[in-house]
């Protein structure tokens, strides 16, 4: 069987049998790789303790017909600080779920998506404001997929949005702001503060918690409207 090597982060794991697991791994060169990790559940197995979620490693895979087979792992990092608090851990898992939800095999942007996931998980490890890191991660992730919320012009008619109000109408279905003429379209009102957070390339961590949560909730709606399956981990981070 031909084999290949790639750097990746473990996004998801499923039990296949008493001893084996199936892993979803996001790799730098090949995008999503789904593989069988034989013996990964056995304490004495070759992969024991090395196939947990969030682990970043160099992997060797053997090509298979449906699923590839994991042959070897050389660990790079486990992002250990994310495990020091459930708050950081849940945010880390949220990032994995988002990537997993949109991931395709051999997608063109895999290099950028991998780098974004890696750098944001690393930043999350020492962050005092995981909400801010999450907002930045989601906006950049959506940008890479061409799905970023449209905030400069009306998402229905392309008219420029004049920024002079306290609240703005936002359509989650269309994915952006509406002008005054397009208000008949189903929308929610978002505050100026939320708009500031979403529109800035670098977010100030001194925005108040309520505004940051509001921005994150808007992104939750935005991303779930476009996801293959609802991303439930959002509810987990909001429950903290
Ligand atoms: Zn309009």
DSSP 118-160: HHHHHHHHT-S-HHHHHHHHHHHHHHHTT---B-SB-TTT-PB
pLDDT at 139: 94
Cβ neighbours, 10 Å, residue 39: 15
For ligand 1, the distance from its centroid to the CA atom of residue 183, given in whole angstroms, is 8
Task: Looking at the structure, tell me whether residues 118 and 233 fall in a common domain.
Answer: yes
Q: What is the pLDDT of residue 201?
A: 53
pLDDT of residue 162: 87
Q: Would you give the end-to-end CA distance of the chain in angstroms?
A: 46
Cα(160) to centroid(ligand 1), Å: 8
Distance 125 CA to ligand 1 centre (A): 41
The rounded Å distance from CA 180 to ligand 1 centre is 7
pLDDT of residue 183: 94
91 lies in the same domain as 65 = no
Could you tell me if residue 207 is inside a domain? yes
Query: For position 68, which CATH number holds?
Result: 2.40.50.140
Inside any domain, residue 135: yes
Residues 181 and 123 placed together within one structural domain of the fold: yes
Which CATH number fits the domain that encloses residue 105?
1.20.1440
Answer whether residue 48 is part of any domain.
yes
- What pLDDT, on the 0 to 100 scale, is given for residue 237? 93
Give the pLDDT score at 8. Answer: 98
Q: Which residues in the chain show pLDDT less than 50?
A: none
Instruction: Compute the distance from residue 219 Cα to the ligand 1 centre, in Å.
Output: 21
Q: Pick from 101, 91, 12, 85: which is nearest to 53 by CA? A: 12
Q: Measured in angstroms, how far is the CA atom of residue 185 from the centroid of ligand 1?
A: 9
Dist. CA 134 → ligand 1 center (Å): 29
- What would the pLDDT profile of 85-105 be if each residue is shown by its tens digit? 899 999 999 999 999 999 999
Q: Which domain holds residue 182?
A: 81-149+175-238
Question: Which SS3 state, helix, strand or coil, does residue 178 take?
Answer: coil
Q: What's the 145 CA to ligand 1 centre distance in angstroms?
A: 24
Give me the pLDDT at residue 1, please: 75
Distance, CA of 26 to CA of 230 (rounded, Å): 19
pLDDT for 205 equals: 54
Q: Are residues 210 and 95 both part of a single domain?
A: yes
Are 53 and 124 contained in the same domain? Answer: no
Same domain (yes/no): 72, 86 = no
pTM for this model (two decimals): 0.94
The answer to the question of residue 7 being in a domain is yes
Provide the pLDDT for residue 204.
Answer: 59
- Identify whether residues 109 and 11 lie together within a single domain: no
Which of 77, 96, 121 is the endpoint of a domain?
A: 77
Span from the CA of 184 to the centroid of ligand 1 (angstroms): 10
């Amino acid at each position: 069987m031909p084999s290949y090597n790639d750097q990746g982060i473990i996004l998801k794991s499923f039990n296949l049998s008493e001893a084996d697991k199936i892993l979803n791994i996001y790799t730098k060169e090949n995008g999503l790789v789904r593989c069988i990790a034989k013996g990964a559940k056995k304490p004495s197995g070759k992969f024991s303790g090395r196939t947990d979620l969030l682990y970043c490693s160099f992997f060797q895979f053997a090509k298979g017909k449906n699923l590839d087979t994991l042959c070897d792992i050389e660990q790079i990092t486990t992002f250990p600080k994310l495990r020091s608090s459930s708050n950081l851990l849940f945010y880390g898992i949220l990032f994995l779920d988002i990537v997993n939800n949109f991931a395709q095999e051999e997608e063109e942007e895999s290099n950028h998506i991998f780098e974004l996931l890696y750098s944001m998980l690393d930043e999350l490890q020492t962050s005092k404001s995981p909400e801010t890191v999450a907002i930045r991660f989601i906006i950049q992730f959506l940008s890479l997929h061409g799905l970023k919320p449209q905030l400069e012009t009306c998402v229905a008619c392309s008219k420029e949005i004049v920024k002079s109000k306290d609240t703005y109408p936002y359509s989650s279905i269309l994915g952006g702001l509406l002008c005054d003429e397009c208000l008949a379209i189903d929308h929610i009102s978002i505050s100026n503060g939320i708009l500031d957070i979403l529109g800035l390339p670098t977010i100030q961590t001194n925005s108040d918690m309520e505004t940051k949560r509001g921005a994150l909730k808007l992104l939750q709606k935005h991303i779930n409207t476009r996801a293959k399956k609802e991303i439930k981990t959002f509810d987990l981070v909001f429950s903290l």
